[in-house]
Chain A
């Protein structure tokens, strides 16, 4: 099955190194026709070699260098250009990819990878242990401005080349999330020779070991990928060995949603991303199209509650907000078909547990009771609650990409006003939005985070990232810090899950955020497009893609 993303996406940034893994179901289903959330091969469809698929993408990436980009859109494009040492399947199990096998030291600080010996970059350079070392060293080099990749190497202390094809990556402390990160786009490997030769142009034409090469980059217009004729392997999700089926994939940047939708309806593109929820019903009725909705892994669309600022510094107020927001209404109106109700700081696809779902059912009456008990009463005709002469105010911090406040922020505003809050939305450009969050100046920033590992919570709730990315709840709790640190160190999968489950329960008890919507990355495609798959991070993989007549 498939899932979604946000209507105005752009939080790619927040992805900051975190789209690591996870992936939820979906993706990687071999050729089928679309049944609900499953693709099946269209009747009579045979795999055809050749042809060009044009994809309408909502935005242009800052660059295509996996180590330098802070943006998720980069990985939409290059998921079949660069490859990783490991691969994470849809059951979150690690599989060999460019590494044949791997080992973790007993203390969890060293990871040894034995590489395949038949791997060559698209420029002919062989993949060796030296190359792996060079890649990781590049990311932490202070002269290199790394994107999300830097976070993925937290505590990196160096790489040791054991022999031509064996490499040991070392960390200062036990760091288990590394296994997820080493299987995700930010730590995919690039050719050192190409980085040197192409210089500043490398960001537009990266060279990896994948089934597609970047042939052309036209600023503000498109990127063209061409299948690599010498690709000899079967990718871990793949169903065939050797070069990809389609000859060319053109990623065309079409930022205006109406225009993008039109292009797939007319056939000018064969595939588009970020289908707006208001267009979904129409597209679903179109017999020439199919829809894929892939769950984004990570942190849902979420309202962070600032525990340092009045009145969200009060637990009862934060809990009242949690009870008082009707998430079902959000999903039914604004996110219909592109999201589901969120219950916890990690999406249900990342970790589902009945105890998490049970925390805050929508209950406006209970919300009012909590406020009354805490002494917040409506005394004047304006319907706004007061206590000791102070009004119950709430300042929502919202990024404006040019279209005004996000509709979900407005809906939350309306719902909380019903409960007696005076809610103001501060809708502003991204940079001042961050500034306010670093300084803990607003009550409730709206955000989301694409993260592949549970460790994504570290950047949201560890006390060391107050005033940085992204502890915008300005929340400091030694118990939470300890759990986040244990989570990084625990080697046993069951125990690790238990740590993050306990952590999420604690965060929900403390009501430091309001999880709103688990989003999906929604794609629409022509029926001629077959064999498209999505990896565990919700990015499209292209090697099994083919076009029917």
Chain B
């Protein structure tokens, strides 16, 4: 419990730091942010002044920051310049799709990664081992937009099995999830393999084998359980990465989501939108890490004591 409180308190300065960075964004970019935001529109000096006042840019910086923080805490990130809708509503509209994609990608990554890793470890130095590690290497190295286009070429254009665009039912989710999960699965596969190899060298495994247990039972019951602890950490961290990875996947597969929201926001110089998405994204990342740490402590009591 004490550990949890300690960790929770540690989150506060991190989030405060993030807010400072996000807040400064508007003031650090070269040029007048208001004019930039309005560059596409025919504007009068009055309109520029009005927008400046609307964004409270005419107030002293500390006051602006205070207002920014207070609004952010209440989930009020202002209005998108481009769509004129509340940024919070824009994020909420797009979040479910991104979370679904990240989770589906995670499922792909864990199932593929752990299976490949464990099987490779169990057959160390076999052709399967080398083959699966080669696949893992490819998975880490291949840019996801390229892999996504390859999948579209194969499964949509040539075979006609799956739709090329990613908004809709579970069939629309398959290729984006595979693309997203590919990179993470490679990392998980390599880690599972090395952890598994280490565990398989332990004496209790030798003991289990000596008792005459079936090899599959030894690996799954005695080996896997112990090998998974470091994997959990990586899975958690990867979830954060996957959320970030959705940016490209959503564009390639024309899927709605926060990734595309922020890409459009950046291109359109939609400051309130970008600020809101970065803040929400950073908070999510920090919370996921917190969750991983706590889970880790739960799985391995030694962590709690240190």
Q: Which residues of A contact B (CB under 8 A)?
A: 13, 16-17, 56, 60, 62-63, 68, 70-71, 142, 145-147, 150-151, 200-201, 203-204, 218-222, 252-256, 258-260, 262-263, 265-266, 268, 401-402, 429-432, 434-435, 468-469
Contact = CB atoms under 8 A, between A and B. Distances in A.
Contacts of A150: 41-42
Interface in B1-57: 30-31, 35-37, 39-42, 44, 46-47, 50
Which of B30, B85, B253, B266 is packed against the most chain A CB atoms within 10 Å? B85
B298 interface: no
Interface stretch (B67-75, B106-114, B153-161): B153-161
Interface of B: 30-31, 35-37, 39-42, 44, 46-47, 50, 82-86, 90, 93-94, 97, 149, 152-153, 156-157, 160, 163-165, 167, 250-257, 260-261, 263-264, 266-269
Given A200-B84, A431-B36, A259 B254 contact: yes
Given A70-B41, A220-B94, A254-B254, A430 B269 contact: yes
Contacts of A56: 165, 254
5 contacts: A219-B93, A252-B167, A256-B253, A259-B252, A401-B267
Given A222-B167, A434-B36, A253 B41 contact: no
B256 A219 contact: yes
Given A259-B152, A259-B252, A431-B269, A145 B41 contact: yes
Given A142-B46, A259-B252, A429-B269, A218 B167 contact: yes
A148 to B, nearest CB: 8
Nearest to A435: B31
Contacts of B153: 262
Which among A259, A260, A401 has the greatest number of chain B C-beta atoms within 10 A?
Answer: A259
A147 to B, nearest CB: 7
Given A62-B82, A142-B46, A203-B83, A432 B31 contact: yes
Contacts of A222: 167
Given A151-B42, A402-B267, A255 B251 contact: yes
A259 B164 contact: yes
B31 A259 contact: no
Contacts of B85: 200-201, 203-204
B84 A221 contact: no
A401 B251 CA distance: 13
B140 to A, nearest CB: 23
A266 B39 contact: no
B96 to A, nearest CB: 11
Contacts, number: 134
Contact of A431 (B31, B42, B46, B47): B31
A262 B251 contact: no
A219 B42 contact: no
B164 A266 contact: yes
A203 B268 CA distance: 17
| Those 5 A-B pairs whose CB atoms lie nearest each other, nearest first | A220-B256, A431-B36, A254-B254, A221-B256, A434-B39
Contacts of B47: 142, 145
A220 B260 contact: yes
Contacts of B253: 256, 259
Given A145-B41, A429-B267, A265 B157 contact: yes
Nearest to A459: B42
Contacts of A142: 44, 46-47, 50
A70 B42 CA distance: 9
A253 B254 contact: yes
A431 B84 CA distance: 19
A200 B90 CA distance: 12
Given A200-B84, A221-B255, 10 more contacts: A142-B46, A142-B47, A151-B42, A219-B93, A220-B94, A255-B254, A263-B156, A435-B31, A468-B42, A469-B42
Contacts of A262: 152-153, 156-157, 164
Nearest to A253: B254
Scoring B31, B36, B39 by chain A CB atoms within 10 A of each residue's CB, the highest score goes to B39
Given A222-B167, A259-B164, A263-B165, A146 B260 contact: no
Contacts of B268: 62, 430
A142 B163 CA distance: 46
B270 to A, nearest CB: 9
B90 A219 contact: yes
